[in-house]
């Protein structure tokens, strides 16, 4: 912020940042106030800055999902999310550029030149994922997966496959229900993978918030999962880590496009290394993988088992295999020991339960393939198929939002260059757009 006060609203005579009607759905635009909110910078005698956000709107301004309230103000901090006129319509992320500059110092030059790294989106066995913004006028959002290579013994270049060649292969995969891989930067200690950013969060969180999914919605999501995994299998890829946390939703709406992520991680960290790591959390792993402690090759049939577990979780709201006294989870998986208690499953169709049983067959040779699952009677729902195909229609905006291309190289040593970011003031705010302030 270069000025002490910035007013945001739809009155172009009053506002420093004016909301333009062409950028919003009409149902949203006319709920915005002429004077919606202010950002106020106060500077103390010792030069320290505090930034407040003050809500002037009738329909609401939200910080991290919490309503400020008309006439009220609160401190806005680094990486806070600002939404209006509803909590779902996240429009800005506030970045404290002093804090951002210090944070950016740890990232390699190839990343810093193209992106401003923001908040943590999630953490998993392979590392954390952070939101990032491409530098320049577009300020497009991407997700950057950060993998600590020491965890997977990948610091010896001579002992691992050519990571950047694998990236080139993954970049060629193009399916509406698969998260796009844009690029990667390989440093001696860390691997950075630049991915498509998906707005709606994880399937796991959606199930948790709703307790479980209704059968028609589960079918809509599962059909898309099957189609996406079939696309991977047909091209020689197995996912190896299918679970609700790796199924992302494109929006907060129920009827939304799903996207599968983390499908190429074993290409970077090594199959055996990944399998041994995942065996520590075996809820979604096939029995043949657990039986070998991750030492057998992971075949396509293993993905089909994981899909069966995911479908069970969607419909039941809990996992089919859970650790119990005198009945270890691993043994339950090895025996395929699960049930459909009437109190939970009484409203679920017999066809859905039959599909789960046929995916959770402990014999891989008798387990349904994804192609066979798509032909199962439960999946032969023309209304759901039509809706799913419409969601999966090619989206021209998806490719146009790609970030600037990196020129990745294997780096011998970390650069000591520091990067100083500059504030970008956006004069036009768009619906569901994130900008750096």
Distances in Å between the Cα of 427 and the Cα atoms of 137, 200, 322 are: 11, 26, 52
**Is the dihedral angle over the CA atoms 274, 279, 280, 281 positive or is it negative?**
positive
Separation between Cα atoms, residue 109 and residue 409, nearest integer Å? 11
| DSSP one-letter code for 202 | B
Cβ proximity of 407 and 194 under 8 Å: no
> Which listed residue (55, 80, 96, 241) is catalytic?
241
Distance of CA 435 to the CA centre of its chain: 19
In the block, tokens 């953490």 appear at 123
In the block, tokens 């550029």 appear at 97
Separation between Cα atoms, residue 29 and residue 23, nearest integer Å? 8
The C-alpha R_g of the chain, in whole angstroms, comes to 24
Query: What is the number of alpha carbons within 13 Å of residue 106 lying toward its C-beta?
Result: 11
User: Pairing relation of β-strands 80-83 and 62-63?
Assistant: antiparallel
Separation between Cα atoms, residue 195 and residue 193, nearest integer Å? 6
**Nearest 10 degrees: CA dihedral of 390, 435, 264, 202?**
-60
- Examine the residue annotation and report whether 162 is marked as an active-site residue of this protein: no
- Residues involved in catalysis: 241
């Amino acid at each position: 912020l270069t000025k002490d006060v910035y007013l945001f609203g739809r009155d172009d005579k009053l506002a420093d940042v004016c909301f333009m009607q062409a950028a919003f759905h009409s149902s949203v635009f006319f709920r915005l106030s002429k004077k919606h909110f202010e950002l106020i910078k106060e500077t103390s005698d010792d030069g320290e800055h505090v930034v407040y956000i003050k809500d002037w709107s009738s329909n609401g301004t939200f910080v991290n999902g919490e309503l400020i309230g008309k006439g009220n103000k609160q401190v806005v901090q680094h990486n806070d999310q600002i939404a209006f006129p509803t909590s779902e319509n996240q429009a800005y992320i506030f970045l404290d550029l002093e804090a951002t500059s210090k944070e950016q110092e740890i990232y390699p030059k190839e990343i810093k030149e193209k992106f401003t790294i923001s908040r943590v989106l999630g953490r998993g066995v392979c590392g954390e994922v952070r939101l990032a913004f491409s530098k320049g006028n577009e300020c497009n959002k991407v997700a950057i997966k950060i993998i600590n290579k020491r965890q997977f013994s990948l610091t010896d270049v001579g002992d691992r496959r050519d990571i950047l060649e694998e990236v080139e292969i993954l970049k060629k995969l193009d399916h509406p229900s698969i998260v796009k891989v844009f690029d990667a930067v390989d440093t001696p200690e860390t691997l950075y993978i630049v991915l498509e950013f998906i707005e709606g969060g994880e399937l796991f969180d959606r199930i948790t918030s709703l307790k479980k999914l209704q059968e028609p919605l589960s079918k809509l999501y599962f059909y898309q999962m099957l189609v996406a995994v079939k696309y991977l299998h047909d091209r020689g890829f197995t996912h190896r880590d299918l679970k609700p946390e790796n199924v992302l939703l494109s929006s907060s709406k129920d009827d939304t496009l799903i996207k599968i992520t983390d499908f190429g991680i074993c290409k970077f960290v090594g199959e055996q290394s990944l399998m041994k790591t995942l065996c520590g959390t075996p809820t979604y792993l096939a029995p043949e993988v657990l039986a070998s402690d991750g030492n057998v090759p992971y075949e396509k049939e293993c993905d089909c088992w994981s899909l069966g577990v995911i479908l069970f979780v969607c419909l039941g709201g809990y996992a089919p295999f859970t650790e119990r006294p005198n009945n270890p989870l691993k043994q339950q998986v090895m025996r395929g020991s699960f049930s459909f208690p009437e109190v939970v499953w009484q409203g679920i169709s017999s066809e859905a339960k039959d599909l789960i049983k046929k995916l959770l067959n402990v014999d891989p040779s008798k387990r349904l393939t994804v192609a066979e699952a798509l032909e199962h009677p439960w999946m032969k729902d023309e209304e759901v198929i039509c809706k799913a195909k419409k969601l999966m229609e090619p989206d021209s905006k998806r490719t146009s939002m790609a970030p600037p291309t990196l020129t990745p190289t294997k780096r011998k040593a970390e650069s000591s260059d520091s990067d100083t970011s500059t504030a970008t003031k956006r004069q036009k705010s768009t619906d569901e757009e994130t900008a750096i302030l």
